[in-house]
Amino acid sequence: MVPPGRPNLVVSPRQGIGHGFSVSRACRKWSVWRDLFGLAVAAVLGIVTPSASAQPTEPLLLPKPRPAEAQPREAPAADAPEPVASACRIALTEEIAIAPSIPPITGPGACGGGDLVRLEAVVLPGGQRVRLTSAAILRCAMASEVADWVRRDLAPLAESLGSSVAELDNYDSFDCRGRNRVEGAKMSEHGLANALDVRGFKLASGQAIALTERSVDRSLRETVLTQVCARFTTVLGPGSDWYHEDHIHLDLAERRGGYRLCQWNVYDPLPEVAPLLPEQRPAEASPREQEQMPKGGQKKQ
């Protein structure tokens, strides 16, 4: 019992302790006043402060996720860093080769590379163009070495033949594959855009020179062999393995100790008249003379 005249002290788990009135109601009133005061201060200061009572009850609406099939956003031009041209790129001018830069290739796997060009033609010192058929995708360093080979070595060789180089065959350039097209084999330099396969070249006179053809002058093929082995770190041709009988593989692979590979057997021309089986004796030929056995005797020893 509570004596009369004393405030009724109520303890309730919901309302807490009160003296004839609810503490929580008083707190709510204070909270309202505090919020109003806070808003007034914010209005004066020109700011809005988040208040516990101002928390939104609705969940925040987030922007819809970008659909997977949407086109990639174009980065603002100002943010895109200007690609820095390599020393090779700067040196490979249009006076040396028609070789526009192309974007880097990344993958699949370890394939690809940067500083790539599409080598369309080599420009000779006199201005004539030697077309690559077809254009080759190569690293700038490899394209630059190919251009230098054509300009300094092949062009004078063609001149010695009384003509000029018109076309260089591109049998294969960038190609993401294992060595010798063997699946699972160590990655080919072709996968790094660091290799070019060449079958031959064409002269302005129309003459085609196939480098692995035995009928082509042997000394000419040997001259080309000396040229390429002095320039490229890998040269594979006939006699190296079964994969290079009909073309010459050139690349700029870097090996420990600067080791180079020059494997190209310049074969002798095949004899003009191959050994033939004895021809069949024509039916109209006169019969072979047979040795006559002496009458009544034996053949002499």
| Least distance (Å) between residue 196 CB and Zn ion | 7
Of 62-70, 112-120, 195-203, 205-213, which part binds Zn ion (CB under 5 A)? 195-203
Cβ atoms of 100 and 118 closer than 8 Å: yes
Name the residue with the smallest CB distance to Zn ion.
249
Q: Does 139 bind Zn ion (CB under 5 A)?
A: no
Nearer of residues 123 and 238 to Zn ion, judged by Cβ: 238
Give the Cα separation of 54 and 36 in Å (integer).
11
Q: At 83, give phi and psi (nearest 5°).
A: -60, 135
Q: Which of 114, 116, 121 is nearest to 94 (CA)?
A: 121
- Extract the tokens encoding 196: 């070019």
Q: Which is nearer to Zn ion, 151 or 249 (CB)?
A: 249
Task: Please give the torsion angle defined by the CA atoms of residues 93, 97, 99 and 104, in that order, rounded to the nearest 10 degrees.
Answer: -70
Taking the least distance from each CB to Zn ion, the nearer of 199 and 249 is 249
In whole angstroms, the minimum distance from the beta carbon of 250 to Zn ion comes to 8
Q: Is 197 in the site for Zn ion (CB under 5 A)?
A: yes
Shortest distance in whole angstroms from residue 157 CB to Zn ion: 22
Going from the C-alpha of 158 to that of each of 154, 161, 184, 206, the distances in angstroms are: 6, 5, 40, 12
- Residue nearer to Zn ion on the CB measure, 144 or 173: 173
Site stretch for Zn ion (CB under 5 A), options 27-35, 211-219, 243-251, 282-290: 243-251
Residue of 249, 252, 264, 266 interacting with Zn ion (CB under 5 A): 249
Q: Strands 97-98, 116-123: parallel, antiparallel or unpaired by DSSP?
A: antiparallel
The distance between the two most distant Cα atoms of the chain, rounded to a whole number of Å, is 176
- Are the CB atoms for 149 and 196 separated by under 8 Å? no
Task: Specify the residue, 169 or 197, whose C-beta has the smaller distance to Zn ion.
Answer: 197
- Compute the least distance from the CB of residue 188 to Zn ion, in Å: 7
State the residue for tokens 């174009």: 74
Span from 116-124, 160-168, 192-200, 262-270 in contact with Zn ion (CB under 5 A): 192-200
How many Cβ atoms sit within 10 Å of the Cβ of residue 36?
Answer: 10
Q: Which listed range, 69-77, 193-201, 215-223, 270-278, lies at the site for Zn ion (CB under 5 A)?
A: 193-201
Give the strand pairing for 234-236 and 105-106: unpaired
Residues 168 and 133: their CA atoms lie apart, in Å, by 6
Contact 266, 222 (CB under 8 A): yes
CB 201 within 8 A of CB 209: yes
**Shortest distance, position 278 Cβ to Zn ion, whole Å:** 43
Closest to Zn ion by CB, 186 or 218: 186
Written as one letter, the residue type at 266 is V
- Output the smallest distance, CB 172 to Zn ion, in A: 6
Check residue 115 for interaction with Zn ion (CB under 5 A). Answer: no
- Is 144 or 170 the residue whose CB approaches Zn ion more closely? 170
Q: Which is nearer to Zn ion, 117 or 195 (CB)?
A: 195
| Helix 140-149 and helix 218-231, axial crossing angle in degrees, nearest 10 | 140
Tell me how far, at minimum, the Cβ of 275 lies from Zn ion, in Å.
Answer: 34
Judged by CB under 5 A, the number of residues near Zn ion is 2
Residues of this chain that interact with Zn ion (CB under 5 A) are 197, 249
